[in-house]
Amino acid sequence: MYRANAQIAVEALLKAVGPKAQVGMTRGVHACMALTALFMLGYGVHLCELTWYNTMAEFPGLRVGIVYMPIPIGGLLTFLFLVEKVWIGTRRKPTSCTATRPRSSSRWTFSFFLALSRSCARSRCRSPTPWASRP
């Protein structure tokens, strides 16, 4: 949601203020995200170092530091994504012609589920799925 700038409350708040305030608020959001990501990275590395030689009782071969490894990895990836977003900018919103035109895969999915619901209605099954057990 952050990548697409699709947070409803933030979007509404940004549209309610002027352009200068929008720039300031956007920089504030980026700063908060960077602080959070760097905290996760720094604290996660420290946590992994502290617990690296501990083992879990249920899995003696598994080190606790490995279990905590997603925290610094997630912080690093979030920070790299933030650098990309600040450097390149946000993606443009799709135009009306691309937003309303369904892709071929979505048309196929829609027609599949439409046919499935019609076959279920014809057979008068009580279950929403035709493969479920019938009374």
pLDDT digits (tens, 9 = 90+) for 34-93: 999 999 999 999 999 999 999 988 998 999 999 999 999 999 999 999 999 888 876 665
DSSP state of 94: P
pLDDT at 98 over 50: no
Q: Is the pTM of this model over 0.75?
A: no
Q: Which residues contact 87 (CB under 8 A, 6 or more apart)?
A: none
Q: Percent of the chain at pLDDT above 90?
A: 39
Alpha helices in the chain (DSSP H): 8-16, 19-51, 64-67, 70-88, 96-100, 104-123
For residue 117 the two structure tokens come to 């619901």
Average of per-residue pLDDT across 94-101: 50
